């Protein structure tokens, strides 16, 4: 087996924008005559999509919104996000991102992006950062009905990569996922992929328990070591739905 594709999460792997999202969620609640408690964003929203975050925050205050009403709120937040990003002279991209993308492309590995964020937000940042040309395949939160830790987004990314590159014949077990949250890591594993956890959002020791590899920073990733492991790795496969589940063996980067 060989490594053929690297699949990136967006928030927490490409851009460090949690503070922006927290402020916008706070603004959304204010417009509903509600307030965001100290530490509540980290407790309720970290690692979740906006829809789940807003739904849970409203429900905890006795507010129930229809999916259409939630969509209106999220579209408003997306517009506010665009305005905030436009104000930033230098986007808070994670260190080592450009070098990692260069290494991936120099090895002729395919790239994709899989996120619960909506496409408008993803496209805006990628265009601003001049990264859009590298991610020909994007699976955004508005492309699928489920969210992480469900594996659907990662499995759809494999389908789209095979459509984009017709001779690739990509299988989930030939993908490396880069994630920063337990939900995202679980989604990648459920899709039958090996997962690298980067400690941008959660501590190293929390991610280390559930990843094939764990690093503190993207700059710590030694892609050649990962490729070497892939070349000798034969997963013990069992079919669960559409996902291939490996045997749980894992490697760690110290």
163-196 pLDDT, tens digit per residue, is 999 999 999 999 999 999 999 999 999 999 999 9
CA distances from 136 to 75, 153, 200 (A): 24, 15, 25
**pLDDT tens column, 62-107:** 999 999 999 999 999 999 999 999 999 999 999 999 999 999 999 9
pLDDT(242) > 70: no
Range of the domain at 222: 5-16+93-245
What CATH number corresponds to the domain at position 27? 1.10.150
Residue 46 in any domain: the answer is yes
Q: 70 and 188 share a domain?
A: no
**Do 108 and 190 belong to one domain?**
yes
Residue 78 host element (H or E): helix 67-87
> Are 67 and 181 contained in the same domain?
no
In DSSP terms, 244 is beta-bridged to: 239
Residue 238 has pLDDT above 80, yes or no: no
* CATH at residue 146: 3.40.50.1000
Q: How confident is the model at residue 27 (pLDDT cuts 50, 70, 90)?
A: very high
pLDDT tens digits for range 8-24: 999 999 999 999 999 99
Pairing outcome for strands 110-114 and 137-139: parallel
Q: Are residues 176 and 61 in the same domain?
A: no
- What pLDDT score was predicted for residue 236? 53
Asked if residue 208 lies in contact with residue 252, where contact means CB atoms within 8 angstroms, the answer is yes
One domain, residues 81 and 159:
no
Mean pLDDT of the 48-54 span: 92
Strand intervals (E) in the chain: 5-8, 110-114, 137-139, 175-179, 194-198, 213-215, 238-240, 243-245
Both tokens of 135, joined, read 């991610």
Angle formed by the axes of helices 67-87 and 119-128, nearest 10°: 10
Query: Can you give the C-alpha Rg of the chain in angstroms?
Result: 18
Lowest-confidence region among 52-56, 186-190, 229-233: 229-233
Residues 23 and 69 grouped into a single domain? yes
Phi/psi class of residue 19: alpha, beta or left (left: φ > 0; alpha: ψ in -120 to 50)? alpha
- Mean pLDDT for 56-60 is 96
* CA separation for the pair 195, 213 (Å, rounded): 7
In the structure, what pLDDT confidence band is assigned to residue 252 with cuts at 50, 70 and 90? very low
Bigger pLDDT: 254 or 205?
205
pLDDT tens string 96-151: 999 999 999 999 999 999 999 999 999 999 999 999 999 999 999 999 999 999 99
Query: In terms of domains, do 75 and 97 share one?
Result: no
Among 60, 87, 114, identify where a domain stops. Answer: 87
């Amino acid at each position: 087996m060989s490594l053929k594709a690297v699949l990136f999460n967006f928030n927490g792997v490409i851009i460090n924008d949690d503070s922006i999202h927290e402020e916008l969620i706070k603004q959304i609640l204010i417009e509903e005559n509600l307030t965001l408690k100290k530490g509540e964003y980290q407790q309720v929203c970290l690692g979740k999509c906006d829809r789940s975050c807003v739904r849970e925050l409203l429900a905890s205050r006795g507010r129930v919104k229809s999916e259409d009403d939630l969509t209106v709120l999220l579209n408003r937040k997306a517009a506010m996000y665009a305005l905030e990003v436009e104000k930033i002279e230098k986007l808070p991209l994670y260190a080592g991102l450009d070098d990692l993308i260069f290494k991936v492309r120099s090895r002729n590995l395919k790239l994709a992006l899989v996120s619960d964020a909506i496409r408008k937000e993803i496209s805006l940042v990628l265009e601003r950062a001049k990264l859009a040309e590298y991610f020909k395949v994007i699976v955004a939160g508005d492309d699928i009905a489920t969210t992480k830790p469900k594996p659907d987004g990662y499995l759809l990314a494999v389908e789209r990569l095979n459509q984009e590159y017709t001779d690739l014949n990509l299988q989930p077990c030939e993908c490396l996922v880069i994630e920063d949250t337990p939900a995202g890591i679980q989604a990648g594993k459920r899709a039958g992929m090996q997962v690298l956890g980067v400690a941008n959002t959660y501590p190293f020791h929390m991610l280390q328990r559930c990843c094939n590899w764990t690093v503190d920073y993207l700059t710590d990733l030694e892609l050649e070591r990962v490729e070497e492991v892939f070349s000798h790795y034969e997963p013990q496969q069992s079919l669960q739905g559409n996902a291939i589940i490996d045997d749980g063996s894992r490697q760690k980067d110290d």
